[in-house]
Amino acid sequence: MTAAISREEVAHLAMLARIDLRPDELDRLAGQLDVILAAVARVREAAGEDVPATSHPMPLTNVSRPDQPRPGLTAEQALAGAPESEQQRFRVPRILEED
């Protein structure tokens, strides 16, 4: 089954992914993704209901560390790459969402 992905869907995905795509990019992407999705849709047929999913390739479990401090970064190091900083904090543009 070919999966059709519309321009509107791509726009919605771009919003979820916080990428401001231009209209021409939206069109091009929609077309390319359609082709790719058709190709990858075969995974649905390949694996039956009873096959378990594998999320981790190696069977490790229970990895943890003791609750002991480790040296971290200085504030200077942390802020070194900041596009903008103020009062030893990262300065970011106004946030729209209510938290």
Partner 1 sequence: MSDAVLPFEEAVAAFDPVLGLEVHVELNTVTKMFCGCATTFGAPPNSQVCPVCLGLPGALPVLNEAALTSAVRIGLALNCTIAPWCRFARKNYFYPDMPKNFQTSQYDEPIARDGWLDVELGDGTTVRVEIERAHMEEDTGKSLHVGGATGRIHGAEYSLVDYNRAGIPLIEIVTKPIEGTGARAPELARAYVSTLRDLLRALGVSDVRMEQGSLRCDANVSLRPSPQAPFGKRSETKNVNSLRSVERAVRYEITRQAAVLVSGGRVVQETRHWHEDTGVSTPGRSKEQAEDYRYFPEPDLVPIAPEPAWVEQLRATLPEPPAQRRRRLQADWGFSDKEIQDLLNAHALDLVEATIAAGAAPAAARKWWSGELARRANAGGVELDELPITPAQVAALQELVDSGRLTDSLARQVLDGVLAGEGEPGRVAAARGLEVVSDDAALGAAVERAIAANPDVAEKIRGGKVAAAGKLIGEVMKDLQGQADAARVRELVLQRLGS
Partner 2 sequence: MAAGSGHPAPDLVRRGAGELAGMLAAGEVSAVEVVRAHLDRIAAVDGAVHAFLHVAAEPALAAAAAVDAERAAGTSLPALAGVPIAVKDVLATRDMPTTCGSRVLDGWQPPYDATAVARLREARLVLLGKTNMDEFAMGSSTEHSAFGPTRNPWDTSRIPGGSGGGSAAAVASFEAPLAVGTDTGGSIRQPAAVTGTVGVKPTYGGVSRYGLVALASSLDQAGPCARSVPDAALLHEVIAGHDLMDSTSLTDPVPSLVAAAREGVADGIAGLRIGVIRELGGEGYQAGVRARFEEAVGLLVEAGADVVEVSCPSFDAALAAYYLILPSEASSNLAKFDAMRYGLRVYPEGVSDPTAEQVMAATRAAGFGDEVKRRIILGTYALSAGYYDAYYGSAQKVRTLIQRDFAAAFARADVLVSPTAPTTAFRLGEKLDDPLAMYLNDIATIPANLAGVPGMSLPSGLAEEDGLPAGIQLLAPARAEDRLYRVGAALEVLLLRRWGAPLLDRVPPLLEGVA
Cβ count within 10 A of residue 5? 19
Q: Does 69 bind partner 2 (CB under 8 A)?
A: no
Maximum C-alpha span of the chain:
56
- Among 23, 24, 55, 68, indicate the residue that binds partner 2 (CB under 8 A): 55
Give residue for tokens 């990428």: 19
Question: Of the candidates 35, 32, 21, 27, which has an alpha carbon nearest to the alpha carbon of residue 7?
Answer: 27
Residues 94 and 79: their CA atoms lie apart, in Å, by 19
- Among 23, 49, 50, 68, indicate the residue that binds partner 1 (CB under 8 A): 68
Tell me which residues touch partner 1 (CB under 8 A).
Answer: 16, 18, 55-56, 60-75, 78-79, 86-99
Tell me which residues touch partner 2 (CB under 8 A).
Answer: 5, 9-10, 13-14, 16-22, 25, 29, 32-33, 35-37, 39-44, 46-48, 51-58, 60, 63, 65, 73, 77-78, 80-84, 90, 92-97
